[in-house]
A and B are shown apart, each in its own frame.
Chain A
C-alpha cells in the first residue's frame, strides 16, 4: 500500500465532459438533455473515469459520442442487457444508458421489462420523440393514433405504448417523466434517478423538430401548453397531503399514467427494493463464507475429489 496521501481528485467540469459536437439536427430536443446531463454530473462530482455512457441505435443513441467519458455504442435494442453486464461486473462504475422510443419500447421492449424486473444499479434515459428520426419518419411505438408517417401515410392505426404503465407493470424501481424544454425539472429528475439504488428510468419528451415538430407543445408553457407537475406526498399529516401522490403506490402511479396526454411530469413511482447488484453480492458473500476463503485452486481440487 502506498503511504503517500492520495492526490486531490481533479474537479469534474462541464468542459472536461464535452466531446465531439453533437451531430443532431439544430434545435433537436436532445441538446437540452445533454446539457442537463452535464450539469448534473458536474453537480454530483462523479469521478470522471467512473462515468460510463452506453447506448443502442437511433438519434438519441449517439449520446455516448457527445460525452467525453468511457462509452460504448452498441447494437439496436440491446443496450439494457449490455449495461447490466457492465453494472454487475463493475459495481464501482456509474452506468448510464441512453436511447429513444424505438430502441427502448420496440426492438428492445422485452429487455426493458426484464431489466426493470431484475433491477440492476444503472440509470436509463429515454429520449422519446414519438417518431423514428434516424430512418426519416416512420411510425414509432409511441406515435399517437392517426400520426401520419412514411409507414402510415393514412395515419397510425396501432395503439401506442404507454411508457409509464409499461414500466410500472414491469416493476421498475424508479420511474420519472420530464420534458426537454424544462431543463431545471429534467436535472432534478436525473439527479434523483442517479441517486436511486437500482434501475432508474427517466422518460424525456424530446422533440424531433424535423419529423414531428410541435409534438410536445401541449406540455410546454412557452408554446401555450401546460407543464403540470406531480405533487408528491410530504407525509406531513395535513389534510392536503391526502390528495397528493404516493410514489410508493403502484395504484397511484397507474392513475397518473392514465391521465390523457400531455399528462403529468415528475416521479411516478419509487421503491427502494434491493438491486440485483446487492442480491448477487449477497450470494457471493454467502458462498465465499461457506468456502472459508478457499481460492480457485482449492475449490477445483475439492470438486475433482468428488468426481473420483
Chain B
C-alpha cells in the first residue's frame, strides 16, 4: 500500500477543460489542528463513524492537552478502503484553525499535501512550494451562516461540511449521524450545526482549488460493523464476559471505562463503586471477588503502583480479579495524555514477594473487547488476578470493526452450593476452589481466606515445606495456563531474515512495516504477544526460522540497552540475537522508524 496514494494519482493540471475532477483514492490522512474547545474531536469522531458505516477502514489518533480547557489539540483521522493499520506517518491534509496550529503541524504534512487554513486566523508562508495552500474564511463564514453571533462555535461542523464535499462523503448518512449526536441537546444546537454544515458543504473551493476526491468503495459489510474507541470496547467486553462488580478511582486515561461501567452496570444488575482512592478501589473489588463474583478494578500507571500491595494479596489468596492499566507516559505524573508501554515490568513484578499473575495486552480497538473476555475466562478458570495492559493510544482511538458475535456472552453464576466435609480451597493436586460466604460447609468448619502463607485448607502456616510447596503451586498453575495458550501467529513468511516482536498498540504500525518491507523484497515477518505473562509456548520454534529478532516497544532501553519485553525475551531464550527498538516520545511508532531500525539491525 502506498503511503502517498494521492500523489501517485495526481490529475493533470494542464487539462484546462476540466475545472474539477474526482481523484480515486485508497486512503487519506486528515489532521485537524486547533484548540481543545473547538470541537475537533467531534468532527474527527463523526468522520470516523461515517467511515465505519460506509464500509471504509478507519483509524484515528488524537492528543488532548491535560488542561481542563484550552490548549492545542489535534485529531488525526485516516480513512481508507484497504487495511488501515496505523494513524499514518504523515498527513495528506492539514486543517489549521490557528496560526500556531499551522506552525506546529505544517511539518507533519507530506510533500504535495494540502493545507486548508482559516484565513481569519492564519497567515501561512505561501512561498512554501512543498504544499498546496487553500485558504477559507472558516470563522467568518460560520458566523455568517449561523447568523449574527460573534461566537465562532460551529466552525468544526463547517469544516466537516467542507470535507464532506471535498471527499464526496455520503452526506445523508453524515447528517443522520449529526442528528443522532445532537438529539438530546436543545433544538437550536442542531439547527446551528446544520446551518454550519450546509455552509461548509456549499462553500465553493473551485476558484482556488480544483481537486476533489472519492474513496474506493470498501468491501466490508457496513451493516455489521461498529465504530468505537478502545476504552468503550473494553467496557463492553467486560459486560459481555459477565463482570458485574467493580470499583475504581478516576485517573486519565482510565476514567472513561469506570464512567461507563458506573452507568451501564446497574442495567445488568451490577454495581460499580467510585472509591476514595486506588487502595480502596482494589480492596472493594477483592471484596466482591471473595464473595464469589469476578470483579474489576483499573487505573493508569500511578494507580497501579498504589494497588500493588492488594494485588499481591489477590495472588496469595488466589482470587479472580481483573485489573486494567491504561498505560500513559511515566514515571510519576509523567505525560498523562501520551502513550507509553513502560508499565510492563510493574505489571508482572510489581508488589513484594513472588506474586504470579497473568498479563494480557490488546493489540487494537477490536481486541480490547476480546481481551476482556479472555481475561475473565482466565481469571475464573485459574482463580487468579489478571492485568490488562492497554494504553492511552488505544483508549481514545476510534476504529471500525465487525460487530461482536454475542453468542459467547457469559451469564455469571454465584456458586454457593454446600461443600463436602473434605473441602480444601488450595489442594496441591487440583485447581483452587473457594467456598464464597453463604456456602454451607457440611463438615461444620468454615474457611478463612488469608494473606498469610497457608496450607491446603487455608490455615495460616509458616512451615518451610508448606511455603515452598505453595509457592510452587501458585507458579505452576500459571505454567499450566501457558501450555494451553495458542502460539502467536506469524505475519509474513515462516522463514526470513528478521522477526519483529511486539505487544500492545504497536501491532498496527509493525504489521504495516512488515507489509512495506516485504513489498521491497525484504525477509521480514512479525509476531505479536497478547499473552505476555505467562508467555505462550512455541515462540522459540518460530524464532528458529529467522536470523535476528527486533523487539519493538514504547519504553526505555534502560541501563543495558534493551526494552522491557526485550529484556524478558532475552532472559527467557538467552538468545543474543534479540535486539531492541525502543522510544519514549509519547507518540506511536511511525512506519519509517521501524523500517529504519530493521535496516540498522542488520549492521
Contact = CB atoms under 8 A, between A and B. Distances in A.
A48 B266 CA distance: 30
Given A75-B310, A90-B292, A300 B236 contact: yes
Contact of A308 (B280, B293, B403, B438): B403
Contacts of A70: 435-439, 446-448
Contacts of A286: 266
A48 B436 CA distance: 13
A65 B448 contact: yes
17 contacts: A49-B446, A50-B437, A50-B438, A70-B447, A71-B447, A72-B449, A80-B280, A81-B287, A85-B284, A86-B287, A89-B291, A283-B266, A284-B269, A300-B236, A307-B232, A308-B52, A308-B227
Contacts of B180: 306
B155 to A, nearest CB: 27
Given A71-B449, A75-B313, A304-B404, A81 B284 contact: yes
Contacts of B404: 300, 304
Interface string B449-485: 1111000000010000000000000000000000000
A77 B225 CA distance: 47
Given A50-B437, A296-B411, A308-B225, A86 B291 contact: yes
Contacts of B254: none
Given A88-B271, A288-B269, 6 more contacts: A49-B437, A49-B446, A81-B280, A111-B283, A304-B226, A304-B236
B277 A110 contact: yes
A304 B366 CA distance: 13
A296 B242 contact: yes
B448 A71 contact: yes
A75 B353 CA distance: 14
Contacts of B448: 64-65, 70-73
Contacts of A110: 276-277, 280
Given A89-B245, A89-B288, A74 B451 contact: yes
Interface of B: 49, 52-53, 180, 222-223, 225-228, 232, 236, 239-240, 242, 244-245, 247, 264, 266-271, 273, 275-277, 279-281, 283-293, 295, 309-310, 313, 317, 403-404, 406, 409, 411, 416, 435-441, 444-452, 460
Interface in A104-155: 110-111, 113-114
A273 interface: no
A267 B199 CA distance: 70
Interface in A36-61: 48-50, 52, 54
A301 B407 CA distance: 11
A115 B451 CA distance: 23
A287 B409 contact: no
A299 interface: yes
A280 B446 contact: no
Given A114-B280, A300-B240, A93 B439 contact: no
Q: Which of A78, A110, A283, A288 has the most CB of B within 10 A?
A: A78
A79 B287 CA distance: 9
B240 A296 contact: yes
B20 to A, nearest CB: 32
Contacts of A222: none
Given A299-B268, A300-B409, A308 B287 contact: no
A55 to B, nearest CB: 10
Contacts of B406: 297, 300-301
Nearest to B445: A68
Q: Which 5 A-B pairs have the closest CB atoms?
A: A85-B287, A70-B437, A81-B280, A114-B276, A307-B226
Contacts of A114: 275-276, 280
Contact of B446 (A68, A74, A83): A68
A303 B284 contact: no
A286 B266 CA distance: 8
A280 B271 contact: yes
A278 interface: no
Centre residue among B228, B242, B247, B449 by max chain A CB count within 10 A:
B449
Contacts of B292: 90
Contacts of B277: 110
Nearest to A86: B287
B287 A84 contact: yes
Contacts of B284: 81-82, 84-85, 88
Which of B288, B452, B460 has the most A CB atoms < 10 Å from its CB?
B288
A81 B444 CA distance: 28
Contact of B438 (A71, A92, A301, A303): A92
Interface of A: 16, 19, 48-50, 52, 54, 64-65, 68-75, 77-90, 92-93, 110-111, 113-114, 280, 283-284, 286-288, 290-291, 294, 296-297, 299-301, 303-304, 306-308
A290 B156 CA distance: 35
Nearest to A72: B449
B291 A81 contact: no
Contact of A75 (B273, B438, B451): B451
B166 to A, nearest CB: 25
A90 B451 contact: no
A155 to B, nearest CB: 32
B267 A90 contact: no
A52 B290 CA distance: 11
B46 to A, nearest CB: 13
Contacts of A88: 245, 271, 273, 284, 288
Nearest to A23: B460
B172 to A, nearest CB: 15
A64 B270 CA distance: 28
B237 to A, nearest CB: 10
Given A85-B291, A301-B406, A308-B53, A284 B240 contact: no
Contacts of A89: 244-245, 271, 287-288, 291, 293, 295
| Residue among A79, A90, A290 with the highest chain B CB neighbour number at 10 A | A90
Contacts of B275: 81, 114
Contacts of B409: 296-297, 300
Given A70-B446, A72-B450, A74-B451, A85 B279 contact: no
Nearest to B226: A307
A54 B416 CA distance: 19
Given A65-B460, A296-B242, A284 B271 contact: yes
A35 to B, nearest CB: 19
Contact of B280 (A19, A68, A78): A78
A294 B269 CA distance: 11
B351 to A, nearest CB: 11
A83 B52 CA distance: 45
A291 B288 CA distance: 25
A72 B290 contact: yes
A68 B445 CA distance: 6
A50 B270 CA distance: 21
B269 A85 contact: no
Contact of A296 (B49, B268, B436): B268
Nearest to B312: A75
Contact of A85 (B239, B285, B439): B285
A85 B286 contact: yes
A236 to B, nearest CB: 41
A306 B264 CA distance: 14
B283 A81 contact: yes
A86 to B, nearest CB: 4
Contacts of B289: 85
